[in-house]
Amino acid sequence: MADIVLEQLVKEYPGGVRAVDGLDVTIEDGEFFALLGPSGCGKTTLLRSIAGLETVSGGSIRIGGRDVTRLAPGARDIAMVFQDYALFPHMTVRDNIAYPLKIKKVGKQERAEKAEETAEGLSLGGLLERRPGQLSGGQQQRAALARAVACHPQVFLFDEPLSNLDARLRLEARTFLKRLQRDLGVTTVFVTHDQAEALAMSDRMAVMEAGRIRQIGTPREVFQRPASTFVAGFIGSTPMNLLDATIDRDTVRVAGTSVPLPESARAHVRDGEEVVYAARPEYMTFSTEAADAGIEGTVAIIENMGVGSLVSLEVGATIVQVTVPEGQEPPIGSRGWAVAAPQRVLVYRRDDGELVGSERAPALAEA
């Protein structure tokens, strides 16, 4: 049992920067938990605090029921992989991977087998006799991953461990890590600034901003119902449409059109209130004919996304983006209508950016 319980955790650096600003989080035993957020939001500091590499300024950290707040890193039974993967330069890849097992007094034969098996999974099989200096950056990073994985700790802490890999290896390593984590059931905290990586890999994720957590949920919850415009703008490979709008009784006036006010927001807004209307491009359809509750505009830009394209409609000074299936791209300069699936529309408060009706509306995933 190795859940991680953070209570009122604070890390303040000299000079007054509160990199971690009073966090309460429970990461469940065996969970793959991603910490996501823009540069400087405190992800690395939080991870280093769990590892014991930072002395926290307040609050507590428990791992598997044991208070480790004041324990040295070596006493916490964790394995870390950081962006700068400190491999031992004088040892071969094989010995680097096997080193933590040697410390744990695992027998020579078993050490060798584990090192080989893990190296194979990370496409390092042919490089076992090399030293770190003879590896590329990506290979070094994989060797560091293999070293952490082979020793089977209670908790894995990963800080952007895939950032140096090229696109193909990154996908391979992602699948390998996810499968391995599931097989071993090791509680894992994974820092990334890549929302696609967090969505793809985690059981649950936390989105951080300025030392605080803005939302915690499953990838589906966070993707479908971002708790604020900040989270909405951060999650998704195409940016969510966030359009200034005004409540007009039971409709929303947005980009010159009246669209139905989502059911979940109805009881929480007043007539005339200024809000933000939000819909993902993937949850909108494009029509070349006038459509009910459609936002009309001129096709300004088409971006190829592989399968399908992203169409930018110009509505005065506003841009509305909508995805279209492959082969159905409209001509540039033509008129078109973007229509959102009503159950996918969200409304945010203009003043604080918070989701309207979030307290009552169930996540779509549970509906």
Member of 6, 36, 44, 299 binding ligand ATP (CB under 6 A): 44
Cβ burial, residue 200 (10 Å; 0-12/13-18/19+): middle
Residue 53 or 112 with smaller CB distance to ligand ATP = 53
Residue 40 binds to ligand ATP (criterion: CB under 6 A): yes
Residue count, binding to ligand ATP (CB under 6 A): 13
Residue 193 or 349 with smaller CB distance to ligand ATP = 193
Member of 31, 32, 33, 42 binding ligand ATP (CB under 6 A): 42
Residue 42 or 297 with smaller CB distance to ligand ATP = 42
Residue 42 or 121 with smaller CB distance to ligand ATP = 42
> Rounded to the nearest whole angstrom, what is the least distance from the CB of residue 59 to ligand ATP in the complex?
16
Check if the beta carbon of residue 268 is closer than 8 Å to that of residue 365: no
Residue 245 binds to ligand ATP (criterion: CB under 6 A): no
Member of 32, 37, 98, 165 binding ligand ATP (CB under 6 A): 37
Q: Which of the ranges 15-23, 74-82, 112-120, 218-226 carries the binding residues for ligand ATP, by CB under 6 A?
A: 15-23
Strand partners, 11: 20
Cβ burial, residue 209 (10 Å; 0-12/13-18/19+): middle
> Rounded to the nearest whole angstrom, what is the least distance from the CB of residue 44 to ligand ATP in the complex?
3
SS3 335: strand
**DSSP element (H, E) containing 10:** strand 4-12
Interface of this chain with ligand ATP, residues 181 to 210, rule: CB under 6 A: 193
Check if the beta carbon of residue 119 is closer than 8 Å to that of residue 146: yes
Q: Which of the ranges 41-49, 55-63, 97-105, 326-334 carries the binding residues for ligand ATP, by CB under 6 A?
A: 41-49
Member of 1, 8, 13, 104 binding ligand ATP (CB under 6 A): 13
Residue 61 or 275 with smaller CB distance to ligand ATP = 61
Site residues, ligand ATP (CB under 6 A): 13, 15, 17, 19, 37, 39-45, 193
